[in-house]
Amino acid sequence: MWHYQPFSLLLGYLLDLVIGDPLWLPHPVRLMGWGISKMETLLRRKQPSTPQKERIGGFILAFTIPVLAYLIPWAILWVVKRIHPILAFFVEGWFCFQILAVNSLWSASLLVWKFLLIGDLEGARYAVSMIVGRDTQKLDEKGIVKAAVETVAENTGDGVIAPLFFLALGGAPLGFCYKAISTLDSMVGYRNEKYRYFGTASARLDDLANFIPARLSGILLILAAPLCRLNGKNAFKIFLRDRKKHDSPNSAHPEAACAGALGIALGGDAYYGEELHHKPVLGDDLRPVEANDILRVNRLMTTTTAFMMPLALGIRFLFL
């Protein structure tokens, strides 16, 4: 019997590089977001609320959405596989394409670079606001560049390497399950007043899911740095020194490696919703931050992805 799954993963990767994520194309993550929002409303409907009830509701949400995200594509692939393996190959390839985000990450950050290139700071602030959670209205050019670099660095882990890792382990169903976990964390996994208790389960689940991929991302970024004419030795040094300097157990691993490879400092204080958040600094200011750092970190991200693909394909063959 033809084992098409590794080739579906390769097809999905190539489709992502070529097509990306056009806004007109329906995307499963938007459907996940809609489902999370609706289910949150349903679970919160009963009042008065208590910390215990919110934790229980949050657990139900964090359990239900990933399970559905796994079962729906699994059922679709089960049906199409029985129609014809070639049809299953293309359907799973399309699913894998929808899970990956190399092209969209590159394109969105490149738009920031283009605005900076022509000196349009307002345009650059708007473009970077589309890919970061922080307030961008008061950012100067250095702040804009750092925000773009940081989001590419972080998303190299949870937007590229982690999806490839789970696609390798369990195909498109497990890949969608991971995307559901990541989407839950981005929507409810906060420590603010609204989600302090309700979002606990989602945040912890995301921490668990990203534990291995975050560390794998840091290692692959270090290995890719010399091929991008960046400082691999310093990437290794900063990775070891700064990878745990974050409230999240995972976020700093790829960011620290990127900061070291580029020879710049990332992180530091930032405003979120008019509130100043004190974040640790990752890396050292070995040189001034410049707009071309956006190009450098994207080159590093795509090279790291190219390193990950043979590993992912090998794991996929192993788990058939």
> 67-97: buried (b, 16+ CB within 10 Å) or exposed (e) per residue?
ebbbeebbebbeebeeeeeeebbebbbebbb
Phi, psi of 25 (to 5 degrees): -90, 125
| Per-residue pLDDT tens over the stretch 277-299 | 677 899 999 999 999 999 999 99
What pLDDT was estimated at residue 270? Answer: 66
What pLDDT was estimated at residue 272? Answer: 62
What pLDDT was estimated at residue 285? Answer: 92
DSSP of 57-96, one letter per residue?
A: HHHHHHHHHHHHHHHHHHHHHHHHHHH-HHHHHHHHHHHH
Higher pLDDT, 191 or 23: 191
Examine the pLDDT at 8 and tell me if it is beyond 90.
yes
CA dist., res. 146 & res. 209, Å (int): 26
Mean pLDDT of 82-90: 94
Categorize the per-residue pLDDT at 268 as very low, low, confident or very high, splitting at 50, 70 and 90.
confident
- Enter the tokens of residue 112: 């920031």
**DSSP label of 317:** H
CA dist., res. 264 & res. 254, Å (int): 14
HSE toward the beta carbon, residue 265, CA cutoff 13 A:
11
Mean pLDDT of 174-195: 92
Q: Which of 10-24, 225-239, 302-316 has the lowest mean pLDDT?
A: 10-24
| Per-residue pLDDT tens over the stretch 33-49 | 999 999 999 998 866 67
CA dist., res. 51 & res. 283, Å (int): 38
Categorize the per-residue pLDDT at 27 as very low, low, confident or very high, splitting at 50, 70 and 90.
confident
Q: CA of 16: how far to CAs of 28, 97, 119, in Å?
A: 14, 5, 30
CA dist., res. 172 & res. 88, Å (int): 11
What pLDDT was estimated at residue 262? Answer: 97
What pLDDT was estimated at residue 319? Answer: 78
DSSP of 278-294, one letter per residue?
A: ---EES--SS---TTHH
What pLDDT was estimated at residue 265? Answer: 94
310 CA to centre of own chain: 20
Examine the pLDDT at 187 and tell me if it is beyond 60.
yes
Q: Which of 235-249, 267-281, 301-315 has the lowest mean pLDDT?
A: 267-281
Tell me: cis bond preceding 51? Omega within 30 of 0 counts. no
Mean pLDDT of 71-88: 96
Work out the angle between the directed axes of helices 51-83 and 162-188 (0-180°, nearest 10): 140
Residue bearing tokens 């929507």 = 187
Neighbouring C-beta atoms of residue 8, cutoff 10 Å: 25
Categorize the per-residue pLDDT at 271 as very low, low, confident or very high, splitting at 50, 70 and 90.
low
What pLDDT was estimated at residue 201? Answer: 95
Mean pLDDT of 97-110: 93
pTM: 0.93
| Per-residue pLDDT tens over the stretch 205-228 | 999 999 999 999 999 999 999 999
What pLDDT was estimated at residue 45? Answer: 83
Categorize the per-residue pLDDT at 275 as very low, low, confident or very high, splitting at 50, 70 and 90.
low
Higher pLDDT, 20 or 182: 182
- Enter the tokens of residue 109: 């950050």
Q: What is the mean pLDDT of the chain?
A: 91
CA dist., res. 135 & res. 125, Å (int): 9
